[in-house]
Amino acid sequence: MKVLWLDINSSYSHSSLAIPAMDAQLSASVKEMHSWEILSGSLKMGISWFTQRAVEYSPDIILSTLWLFNHSFAMEVLSRVHSLIPGVRIVLGGPEFLGENEGFLIKNRFIEAVFRGEGEEVFPEFVKRMGDLTHCYEMDGFCYLDKNGKYRDNGTAQVKSFHKLLPPEQSIYFPWDKPFVQLETSRGCFNRCAFCISGNQRIIDEVPLAEMEIRIEKIHKRGIKEIRILDRTFNANTIRASKMVRLFSKYNGEIEFHTEIHPSFMESEFRDSIEKAPAGTLHFEAGIQSFQEKTLASCNRYDKKEKTINGIKYLSSLEKHQVHTDLIAGLPFYTYQQLIDDLHILIEINPAEIQLESLKLLPGTELRKKAGEYGIKFSQLPPYEVLETPDISHTGLIKAHFLSVIIDLYYNNPEWRGLLTGLVKRNNFFLEKFTDHFFYAAYGKSLNNENKGLIIWNFCNSYFPAETEAVSIKWMEIGLSFTKGPGAESIPWKYSDMLHNPLFDKGSREHTYRYLEYPGRRHWFSYNRKTNSSKSLAKFTELF
């Protein structure tokens, strides 16, 4: 039988572990029962690209994984392939099938079966039975419509001994050519977050440290510089996490390890290990979601605001490991104003990155089941975004989206961060007002550095005139156009000028100079005309 793995990723750098994780479990004799082909690419390649190649291979069966962001795209490809090869059998798995599957199968009759849960342990048996329809789907996890059109559901499959699985790196399909690799070090989470697919009753199963050491060493030998650790809450077990950090530290910053951590769990042993880890060893994704305790409690998280704030402050104060934080708009009882307040707290702490996402009600999660109870309205199509709750209006969520864009453009970009941070700290309502303005000002514009500068400069001119000077200085530092916005207000200094130039370098004619004039002060900037960079070399403020 000719089997096609269809592997559709959101971008070139992101590659799903599903295929190598399944393939690694197949013995040579089982694998030889069929001929295998992988069709792998990103959404960018387009529907026709995948369709044409899939049809060229002329498979008997197609296996694929669906998740939030490839769902619609993959279904479009699969329906076309099925039209072109009507006899092809299609079996799907992935997080999109963790919930109710009957509706999906009724609507998409060309899909033969879907699989719910963790597939590695049942996969070899499935492959053996693949040729015989009658026995194929009687195993745990499979959902299908039988020959009478009756829905059959075999529950959720769970891997019983995750730590005994053969590692995905053993598969010929492991993506060694990507900028980073993913390493799943445990499965299951101690938490029960209502919005998360890992917030279920699964028992935590960990790969032993000795095995981790061997696997990391093999990855290192491949020249990989970044490993994303898939451990649902890395520091939930302080002793294990501390040992792992000591293991990571052996690579002396040659590999950066990304981990998802809980900012409230900063026990002394863990602190000690991360303080001793060489700079560049760790990159933390610190899950906050919200600082509002009522909101968190409604999602089964019982974190204390002060403890979380202290954890983020501590991590950010180390200044040698990247700290990324996240907030989620649309959670129960979370208002737009509270979201702004939480952003203020984070901006004050100054982590390397703040991500603001909208809640998505994922299939199989508790929050999706309780959406009616909480009065949450959400899109029925992937990515199932929350559209409105009793605590945040639809407009509020759209503004939250623009807030997220603002944070991404002006805070997460180190070039602009100092400016935005200063504006927000000096003006209580800056973020809210700027979001309202941005909503209209940015519409249909490419958000390059120059447009970013013009949007914030025009806004300050209209609503915070005392702040235009700060924006103008930033514009000149970055070296944006001297004919637009604040650049057009700058004055070139000529070598023949009588005006004293405090930045003037007598020994060089390679430099150009400009200044901005304000009552009682003059801001000077120097530039090098011979380099490609437009950034100012030096800045000086003269007071008089």
Residues that bind ligand SF4 in the complex, under the rule CB under 6 A: 189, 191, 193, 196, 198-199, 232-233, 287
Mind giving me the DSSP string for 371-430? HHHHT-EE-SSTT-BEEEBTTB-HHHHHHHHHHHHHIIIIISSHHHHHHHHHHHHH-TTH
Identify whether 465 is preceded by a cis peptide bond (ω within 30 of 0): no
Question: Please, are residues 190 and 233 in contact by the beta-carbon 8 Å criterion?
Answer: yes
Report the residue number, 232 or 523, with the smaller CB distance to ligand SF4.
Answer: 232
Strands (E) across 405-519 are located at 491-493, 511-518
Give the separation between CA 339 and CA 336, rounded to whole angstroms: 5
Report the residue number, 193 or 346, with the smaller CB distance to ligand SF4.
Answer: 193
Report the residue number, 182 or 233, with the smaller CB distance to ligand SF4.
Answer: 233
Report the residue number, 24 or 193, with the smaller CB distance to ligand SF4.
Answer: 193
Report the residue number, 94 or 175, with the smaller CB distance to ligand SF4.
Answer: 94
Report the residue number, 36 or 234, with the smaller CB distance to ligand SF4.
Answer: 234
Task: Compute the least distance from the CB of residue 236 to ligand SF4, in Å.
Answer: 8
Task: Compute the least distance from the CB of residue 86 to ligand SF4, in Å.
Answer: 41
Task: Compute the least distance from the CB of residue 296 to ligand SF4, in Å.
Answer: 10
Task: Compute the least distance from the CB of residue 237 to ligand SF4, in Å.
Answer: 13
Residue 300, both tokens: 């089964």
Report the residue number, 26 or 386, with the smaller CB distance to ligand SF4.
Answer: 386
Task: Compute the least distance from the CB of residue 198 to ligand SF4, in Å.
Answer: 4
Give the separation between CA 532 and CA 437, rounded to whole angstroms: 34
Report the residue number, 24 or 299, with the smaller CB distance to ligand SF4.
Answer: 299
Give the separation between CA 218 and CA 212, rounded to whole angstroms: 10
Report the residue number, 45 or 197, with the smaller CB distance to ligand SF4.
Answer: 197
The residues near 292 (Cβ < 8 Å, ≥ 6 apart) are 305, 333, 334, 338, 342
Q: Which residues are paired to 151 by β-bridges?
A: 145
Task: Compute the least distance from the CB of residue 222 to ligand SF4, in Å.
Answer: 28
Task: Compute the least distance from the CB of residue 194 to ligand SF4, in Å.
Answer: 9
Give the separation between CA 91 and CA 421, rounded to whole angstroms: 50
Q: Which residues are paired to 524 by β-bridges?
A: 515, 540
Report the residue number, 15 or 289, with the smaller CB distance to ligand SF4.
Answer: 289
Task: Tell the burial category of 226 from Cβ atoms under 10 Å away from its Cβ (0-12, 13-18, 19+).
Answer: middle
Report the residue number, 25 or 191, with the smaller CB distance to ligand SF4.
Answer: 191
Give the separation between CA 145 and CA 460, rounded to whole angstroms: 60
Task: Compute the least distance from the CB of residue 233 to ligand SF4, in Å.
Answer: 5
Torsion over CA: 250, 255, 261, 266 (sign)? positive
Which among 31, 19, 88 is positioned nearest to 58, based on CA atoms?
88
Task: Compute the least distance from the CB of residue 97 to ligand SF4, in Å.
Answer: 18
Task: Compute the least distance from the CB of residue 262 to ligand SF4, in Å.
Answer: 7
Task: Compute the least distance from the CB of residue 197 to ligand SF4, in Å.
Answer: 7
The bridge status of strand 113-115 relative to strand 142-145 is antiparallel
Q: If DSSP codes are grouped into helix, strand and coil, which group holds residue 232?
A: coil
The residues near 138 (Cβ < 8 Å, ≥ 6 apart) are 154
Q: Quick one: how far is CA 129 from the chain centroid?
A: 37
Q: Which residues are paired to 152 by β-bridges?
A: 144
